[in-house]
Amino acid sequence: MDGNRNPGLIAVTAGVGFAVLFALLGVTAVLDGKIAFGLAVVSLAVSALIYVFYSRGNAVTKTGYASLILLIAIGLMIPFLLVAQTQTQANAQAAQYELTLQRGAAIYSQYCATCHGYLGQGINGPKLNNNPVVNKLSDQDLQRIISGGISNPNDPSVFLMPAWLDTYGGSLTQDDINYLVAFIRSSDPSYLSTQGLPSTNGFDLVYGTLTNATQQAEYEAEKKGGSKPPASEFVDKTADTAVTIEAVTSTTNSSGFQWQVLGGTLPNITIKAGTKVTWINNSAGIPHNVVSGSGGVPNNKFPDSPPVLATGESYSYTFTTPGEYPYYCGIHPAMIGWITVQ
């Protein structure tokens, strides 16, 4: 080696060079941080081993140094392997939880949404999406209610909500019920934070589980139609004794049709008690009807039209009692409107 370069020193220089390179790749996120760190440690260890191999000294010292280098390299790797392991576990758990919510959402949209609403806003059944009363129930209470249903306190043979568990005659398995409990729970932010769960509200996943256009239109109608539209979206017809609302084709409504005041654009009107409202079907070749209610759910606050109003046909009703009267087309539930009677 006299006069020549020491290959051991070249190896160390190269090793440090590689280590710096990998560190840079790690920092700039070209390589995953843990992989970059591992490669840097391996470069240093290999170069140190080569250095020891070429150094003077007897076999025993060489072996001693080599062992020490390997020990340090492995020692450096261990915490990183542990962190990587815990992270993999956490990721798997999060993925599992997401799957549970997905399944809960799919079951909910098939079995529960008709009464509790696609958004969990409540229709005939109470609100379930972050309802303080429901949030107070224990997991066991929720299990029991969904499994066994709720009977009328005055007549236990009449169910306000049917039993859902298969062993009680329902259509759901114990697993399904577990998914539903996790799903309903996920709408309670404080439950999620105390349980250390990801902040996904399962109700936000419901739309993605809908498999047909009718359900999607119902969902959108519920999203829009649950509450009274803002005052700016009402047409003041309090000076009129008769108002006509027409069904026309639409490029903005998801159903392809919309209600609007005859010749106008908005479906919502304010009228005086005693005003006659006429709905006319002005869309070519497509039947419509008028249902009292919102969110695709009838509320029977005024009599519904016949089930089919063919093109050109109309239906009239005179509102005599002040109040709020949402309405929709039973064939295209996304066609909604609102009548306020003063």
Contact between 287 and ligand HEC by CB under 6 A: the answer reads no
Site string for ligand HEC, 90-129 (x = CB under 6 A): ---------------------xx-xxx-------xxx-x-
| Whole-Å CA distances, 187 to 87, 125, 180, 183, 285 | 26, 17, 11, 7, 43
Residue 144 tokens read as 């029991």
CB proximity list for 299: less than 8 A, separation 6 or greater: 292, 293, 326
**Closest separation in Å from C-beta 162 to ligand HEC:** 7
**Closest separation in Å from C-beta 285 to ligand HEC:** 35
Residue 206 tokens read as 């419901």
- Per CB under 6 A, contacts with ligand HEC among 132-151 are 133-134, 142, 145-146, 150
Near ligand HEC by CB under 6 A: residue from 45, 101, 180, 271: 180
The distance of Cα 130 from the centroid of its chain, to the nearest Å, equals 13
- Using alpha carbons, select from 29, 63, 27, 66 the residue that is nearest to residue 47: 66
Binding residues for ligand HEC, how many (CB under 6 A)? 19
What is the chain's alpha carbon radius of gyration, rounded to the nearest angstrom? 34
**Closest separation in Å from C-beta 135 to ligand HEC:** 10
- Which range, of 3-11, 70-78, 156-164, 194-202, touches ligand HEC by CB under 6 A? 156-164
Say how far apart CA 191 and CA 202 lie, in whole Å.
13
**Closest separation in Å from C-beta 258 to ligand HEC:** 29
**Which value, to the nearest 10 degrees, does the dihedral of the CA atoms of residues 152, 153, 156, 162 take?**
30
Q: Quick one: 3 or 132, whose CB is closer to ligand HEC?
A: 132
Near ligand HEC by CB under 6 A: residue from 22, 37, 118, 164: 164
Applying CB under 6 A, the residues found at the interface with ligand HEC are 111-112, 114-116, 124-126, 128, 133-134, 142, 145-146, 150, 160-161, 164, 180
